[in-house]
Amino acid sequence: MRTGERRPTLADVAAEAGVSVALVSIVMREAPGASAATRQRVLEVARRLDYQPDSRARLLRSGESRLLGVVFSVRHPFHDDLLTGLYDAADKQGYELTLSAVTPRRDERTAIAGLLQDRCAALILLGPLAPTAELATLADRLPVVVMTRAVRHRAVDVVRTDDSRGLQLAVDHLVELGHRRIAHVDGARWVASADRRQGYRDAMRRHGLEEFVRIIPGGSGEEDGARAARLLLDDPPTAVAVFNDLAATGLLDVLRRHNLDVPGDISVVGYDDSSFSALAHIDLTTVAQDIDTMATLAVSRAVERVAGAQVVHRETVIAPRMVIRGTTGPPR
C-alpha cells in the first residue's frame, strides 16, 4: 500500500473475492464455516490487497479486551528494553500491548487516560511518578502493575529490582578492585533514587569507608551526568557509581574531554545494563536488571488479576547482578 492510500478493509476483500464480509471474517479468524477453496481464494485476495486484520478492533468488538496498556517514558532507554521483554511475555499469554508514552510535553496522567479510553484489561506502569493514593484509585478501576518502583498499597501489584542491593554490588566490586574514595551520582527525585542512594551508604559503611561517602546531585539523563562530572573535577574520586547508564555516559564524556583516563584515573559503574552500554565505544560496567524475569512476572500478574485470581505476594523483588566491562579497574 502506497503512502496516502486508504487501508484495505474487510469489505474490500469480500468485494474482490465475491463473498460476504461475514465469510471473510470467518477465514481471517481461522474459524470453521468456509470451504477449502473459498478459504484459499479469500487469503489470496487479502495478500494481494495487503489487507492486515485489526486484531485490536476485533477484540473490542468481541467484548473481550486482551490488551495490556503500558505507560513508559521516552526519556528512559531502559524502558525501551523493558518493552521488548513485555512484548515477548504478552505474546506467550495471548495478549497484546498498547503503548502510551510520557514525553516532555505529555504528562503521565494524559498517558494513562489514553489507555483507559482503549478499554485495556490491565495497566502496566513503568516507573510511574504518581502518588500512591492516585495509583490506588486507578487500581479500583482495573488491575495495575507497577514496575521499577516500590508502591506500598495492597491494591497495586509491584515487580521491581532490589535497587539498594544493586548499588551495594557496585560498591563491593569497586572495593574489591582496591578503591576507597568512591562517590555516588544520585538520581535526584527519580524513581528508585532513594533506594540506590541508601544502598551506596550502607555498602560504604559496611566496608568502613564512611569518611569517603560523597553523594553528588544528579538525575536520569546525560546532561545530569555531565553536570555531576564537572562537580567532581576539582577533587576527583578514584571511582564513581552512577544512578543509571544514561547519566553515566554523560559523565564519561566530560571526564574524557578533560583528559581523565577511564578506568586508569577514575572507574565508572552505571546501572540498568541498557542495550547501549555494551557498545564498544562505551563498554560500561553496570548493574543489570533481569528484564526477562521482570517482564514475565509483570504480565503474569496482570493476567492473573484480569482473571480474578487472588494474588498472595503483591510485591516481587528481583535480584540484580554485576556486568563487568571496561570502565572499571584498580586505582593507580
Q: What is the pLDDT along the chain (332 residues), one digit of tens a residue?
A: 444 466 787 778 888 998 877 778 778 767 677 888 888 999 999 889 888 765 555 554 445 668 999 999 988 889 999 999 999 999 999 899 999 999 999 999 999 999 998 889 999 999 999 999 999 999 999 999 999 999 988 889 999 999 999 999 999 999 999 999 999 999 998 889 999 999 999 999 999 999 999 999 999 999 999 999 999 999 999 999 999 999 999 999 999 999 999 999 999 999 999 999 999 999 999 999 999 999 999 999 999 999 887 766 689 999 999 999 999 999 98
Hey, what amino acid is at 103? Answer: T
Task: Provide the grid cell at 292.
Answer: 526477562
Q: What does the pLDDT read at residue 20?
A: 77
Q: What does the pLDDT read at residue 3?
A: 45
Asked whether 180 and 238 are in contact (CB, 8 A), the reply is: yes
C-alpha 105/C-alpha 23 separation (Å) is 45
Q: What does the pLDDT read at residue 56?
A: 54
Place of cell 543489570: 288
Residues of CATH 1.10.260.40 domain(s) within the chain?
10-53
C-alpha 139/C-alpha 144 separation (Å) is 5
Hey, what amino acid is at 11? Answer: A
Q: What does the pLDDT read at residue 328?
A: 98
**Antiparallel, parallel or unpaired: β 144-147 and 122-126:** parallel
Residues of CATH 3.40.50.2300 domain(s) within the chain?
66-161+290-317, 163-289
Q: What does the pLDDT read at residue 312?
A: 67
Say which CATH topology domain 66-161+290-317 has: Rossmann fold (3.40.50)
Domain 10-53, CATH class in plain words: mainly alpha
Considering the domain 163-289 in this protein, what is its CATH number?
3.40.50.2300
Cα of 215 vs its chain's centroid, Å: 26
C-alpha 66/C-alpha 64 separation (Å) is 6
For residue 183, give the nearest of 163, 201, 195 by alpha carbon.
Answer: 201
C-alpha 105/C-alpha 170 separation (Å) is 34
Q: What does the pLDDT read at residue 150?
A: 92
Asked whether 246 and 222 are in contact (CB, 8 A), the reply is: yes
Q: Find the DSSP H helices in the chain.
A: 10-17, 21-28, 36-49, 55-62, 77-92, 108-117, 132-139, 163-176, 193-206, 222-232, 245-257, 291-306
